[in-house]
Structure 1
Amino acid sequence: MIFTREKKQVWSLFEKISFRFLFLYFTLYTVSIFTGPLWKPMINWIGKSIFQITREFSSNGRGSGDTTYAYLLLFLFFCVAIISAFLWSIIDKKRKSYNQLQYGFLVFIRIIVIFFMLNYGFVKIFHLQMSEVSNADLIKNLGDKSPMGLAWTFMGFSKTYSFFAGLAEVTAGLLLLFRRTQTFGAIATVVVMLNVFMMNLCFDIPVKIFSFHLMLMGLLLLLADAKRVFGVLLLNKNITNYTIYPKLNKEETRIIAIVKLVLVVLTCGLFIFTSYTRYKKQYIAPKTALFGVWKVTTFKKGTDIAKKDFTKQWKYIAIDRAKMASIKNFDDQQNYYTFIVDTIKNTVVFGDYKSENLDTLQLINKDSIVTLAGKIKTDTVFIKLQKKKAKDFLINSRGFHWVNEFPLNR
């Protein structure tokens, strides 16, 4: 086997070479997670000189982990790992085994996997990674959503499902903490991350590289227990005389347990504190002024209703956050605009998003009816809005039913 939790005095040539490659590749990859931009000069050279890439590419994917830069990093690490493993095999050909280095490497991999499983798990538990369906989503056509946007809406619809998905990741991370449960943690990590990877793959979510490598790391940890796992589950054998390396005495076990407890409490405490702070701000704090979906019942430009440009009339306004609104026209074009509500002055500052040229409209808000009047650029406008209730949308009103005589699939 490539990895084992047993101490083997003599490793085969295949075991030594494969270990050297995997050790080098995954060490480089995990280090690059925190040092990605530092490789920029070398990656730029590889992209232009080897792959003849003429367009500009950046180390900052703005949330995407599947950039050209990221794939070139993998190419670099793969080549470096192969060449270095070959040279290492020549220089260190007399060594019989790497038990101690393997142990340290597997501990390092466990720490990395535990950290990210807890990190991603807690943000799902607090329903933050894929947050609840927004007002802007409620007025968006299904066909206008990207595959990733569809996945985000699917996950964001149910807090319970988000909690369940996050709990699965946190559980996998916690099981990896202890020797007795490490095997179960490795199995859980592989299963959970396979599902995440397939979701990223099928919904074009740009975290495919990272989720795939987390799954591979879980698989490496599982391979270290392959003798027991496959022996018991597939071969139905009783595995005896299996001593995990290194063998620890009671004092060492106690010290390690205390260190693990402190680190887990600190790590979980950090993730819970930061996640709850975001949760409180997003779900508990008072909503911004005019929060909700507003249907445009009257849209006048100048003295007449703008019949000549009917498709450009506003159809809906969705407000989720302060200083911003999503406006949908009758031609189904939906865009974000600056929309700053001042309930003291009864005004709305409006304009193209991130534009410095903004207009001020007078606001009247009475009994779920809002009117806006003033000038937008050179046009005089009069707009009347009526607030839609959340349950006017089927996705909010349907609810949960234990008994369904017929499926409601719309």
Structure 2
Amino acid sequence: MAVLDVPRSRSDAKAVSQVADWQPYEKTLFRFVFLYFAVQLLPLDGQFVRNLVATEGGYSRYVFNLSRYAPHFFGPQDSFLNWLVVALVALVGTIVWSLRANPSTNYDSLYYWLRVALRYRLAIGLIAYGFIKLFPLQAPLPSISNLNTAYGDHSAWKLFSLTLGIVPSYQSFLGGVELLGGLLLLHRKTATIGTLIILPFLGNVFFSNLAYEGGEYVYSGLLITFALVLFAFDAIRLFRLLSLELPTTPNRFQPIFSEQWQRYGRWTFKVAFVFFAVVLYGYSTYAAYRKGSVRFPQTPGLPGVAGLYNVSEFRIGGKTLPYSKTDPTRWQDVVFEAWNTISIKSNQPVRLVTTNVEQLAGADSERDYELAGSQGRHYYRYTIDSTNRLLTLKNANPNEAAETLKLAYTQVGNGQIILSGVAAPGVAGTQDSVYAVLDKVNKKYLIDEAAKAGRRGALKL
């Protein structure tokens, strides 16, 4: 064994001997903790392999998906039941280990390497989320459709995300705090300071997910357990020193790398981690931010038409329907986004998309943030046939994926657009003809006006 756990001086020898005096119950408890977190850290299911070999979506998406890995034994969604399975595996392993225990096992060394593994695993989790907050990608500014959806038509999670999205500077501040905590974990001497920053931060994330029905409470809880183990290493000494004001002996254990390849390998790993997980990932995330939100589609829509439109005239099967908030067929208003999304407000029920976990989607078809957690509007992605002036709309809701419309468009002028074509089942219940006159609304949004006011020092609505 080339890694030696030896004291560097006489005083160190005393300190190490004190730390090495493990009681039988401490050894048993440590075996369980060691095995439990070893199972949590090791790639034990196929999802890790799929994340490892995935290449689509760019480097930032690749690292982000890898950083979110945790063993799953029950379905695709994370669950506390997975923790129970891990605990049972660790319990069985503890029994076997205790029965076959080697008296010469160095538990100080095992404890040291467990903390090293937890430090880097926790660091990559914090850094991955920190950068998508620092460059506000996690919660983007609301779309026009989101701004024209009634407050009560949003789920609690969507309201939380939209509330965070309208204050990008605060989101960047949160990302900075998360990054600071993650970077402090990369050095053994600052790891405890890092956990003092991380624990209240992750606690807030955990309870926010519970309160707003987010899907990250299990994962954030897992990161909290990592941080608690790291903090526990110095917790009693800190309590004695700061609260009881008693003399406190520092922990002097430090592995000695006697082989040259071990010393170089240690620094090579640390430099590689910083380069790939901090420098390269940070640059990739910034580049993605410069291209636009990763939450919304990147395919451009009809040029110059983005905005809210009232439906002043609507016919179905040749029959004119007056404006109504209760008619499930009659369109009330239509939103054209800057990208290739049209959303239609009507009283027809929406089968809610319940996606509530953070993700960096690759293809446009995977980017469902604009419709997830929202009802009251029907979202369609469209393609443009500019020669025949034809829009082909496909429902973006995976629950209504078969619904399509083919609508001819005419831009009359003065912001008016006329759509005409055939409605597929799901819009009107039949394939009757559809005719809609859309009048653009010159609507100001407080979030946009506030941003302009910040540049010129005045707010006028």
Shorter-normalised TM range: 0.7 to 0.9
State the Cα distance separating 1:22 from its structure 2 match.
0.9
- 2:275 corresponds in structure 1 to 265
CA RMSD of aligned residues (A): 3.4
Residue 11 in structure 1 maps to residue 63 in structure 2? no
- Counterpart position of 2:181: 172
What residue number does 1:299 align with? 314
Among 308, 313, 318, the alignment partner of 2:330 is 313
1:340 and 1:204 map into 2 onto residues whose CA distance is: 34
Task: Pick which of 280-289 and 229-238 moved more.
Answer: 280-289
Does the aligned pair in 1 maintain the 2:119–2:230 contact within 8 Å? yes
Instruction: Name the counterpart of 1:339.
Output: 382
CA contact (8 A) 1:350 1:361 kept: no
Deviations 1:281-309 (A, max 9, x none): 32497953243333323323355521397
Q: Which blocks of at least 5 consecutive residues in structure 1 are unaligned? A: 1-5, 39-56, 403-410
**One-letter amino acid of the structure 2 residue matched with residue 147 of structure 1:** A
SS of equivalent residue, structure 1 residue 313: coil
Q: Displacement of 1:153 after TM fit? A: 1.2
- Cα distance between partner residues in 1 of 2:142 and 2:251: 51
SS of equivalent to 1:294: strand
| Aligned pairs (5 A) from 1:137-176 | 137-176=146-185
> For the Cα contact (< 8 Å) 2:140–2:165, is it kept in 1?
yes
How far apart in 1 are the matches of 2:35 and 2:224? 18
SS of the aligned residue for 2:152 comes to helix
Retained in 1: the 8 A contact 2:129–2:175? yes
The aligned amino acid for 1:270 is L
* Contact 2:300 2:340 survives alignment (8 Å): no
Whether the 8 Å contact between 2:165 and 2:171 is mirrored in structure 1 is yes
Matches within 5 A, 1:82-161: 82-92=91-101, 94-95=103-104, 97-161=106-170
Change (3 A) 1:19 1:330: same
Please report the TM-score for the alignment, with normalisation by the length of structure 1.
Answer: 0.79
Deviation (angstroms), 1:31? 2.0
Q: Give 1:395 deviation, angstroms.
A: 4.6
Closer, same or farther in 2 for the Cα pair 1:228/1:321, shift >3 Å?
farther
3-state SS in 1 of match to 2:314: strand
Of 337, 348, 355 in structure 1, the residue corresponding to residue 402 of structure 2 is 355
Aligned equivalent of 1:202: 211
Q: Residues of 2 paired with 1:58 and 1:259: CA distance? A: 31
Alignment of 1:216-231 (within 5 A): 216-231=225-240
* 1:356 positional shift: 6.8
Q: Is the 8 A contact 2:416 2:438 kept in 1?
A: yes
Name the CA shift for 1:321/1:31 in 2 (closer, same or farther; >3 Å). Answer: farther
- The equivalences for 1:363-378 within 5 A come to 363-364=410-411, 366-377=413-424, 378=431
Segments of structure 2 that go 5 or more residues without pairing to the other structure are: 1-14, 50-71, 349-374, 425-430, 455-461
* 1:352 positional shift: 4.3
- Between the aligned partners of 2:231 and 2:452, the Cα distance in structure 1 is 39
- 1:338 Cα deviation after fit: 4.0
Q: Per-residue deviation at 1:370?
A: 1.9
2: distance between equivalents of 1:104 and 1:242? 15
Among 279, 299, 309, the alignment partner of 2:289 is 279
2:89 is matched by which residue type in structure 1?
A: V
Aligned residue for 1:245, secondary structure, equals coil
SS of match in other structure, 1:224: helix
Identity between Structure 1 and Structure 2 (%)? 25
Residues 297/125 of structure 1: CA separation in 2 closer, same or farther (3 Å cut) = farther
1:379 is matched with: 432
Distance 1:322 1:339 in 2: 9
Cα 1:35–1:228, aligned 2, differ >3 Å: closer, same or farther?
farther
Question: Does the CA contact (< 8 Å) of 1:11 and 1:97 recur in 2?
Answer: no
Q: Secondary structure at the match of 1:314?
A: coil
Secondary structure of 1:225 counterpart: helix
TM-score between both structures, scaled by the size of structure 2: 0.71
Cα distance change, pair 293–342 in 1 and its aligned pair in 2 (3 A)? farther
More displaced 10-residue stretch of structure 1: 217-226 or 227-236: 227-236
CA contact (8 A) 1:361 1:374 kept: yes
Q: 1:138 to 1:344 in 2, by over 3 A?
A: farther
> SS in structure 1 opposite 2:288?
helix
SS of structure 1 residue aligned to 2:255: coil
Partner residue of 2:345 out of 321, 328, 351 = 328
Matching residue of 2:194: 185
Query: Does the 8 Å CA contact 1:299/1:306 hold for their aligned counterparts?
Result: yes
Q: Per-residue CA shift, 1:188-214, capped at 9, x if unaligned?
A: 121211111111111111222111010
Within-5 A mapping of 1:12-27: 12-27=23-38
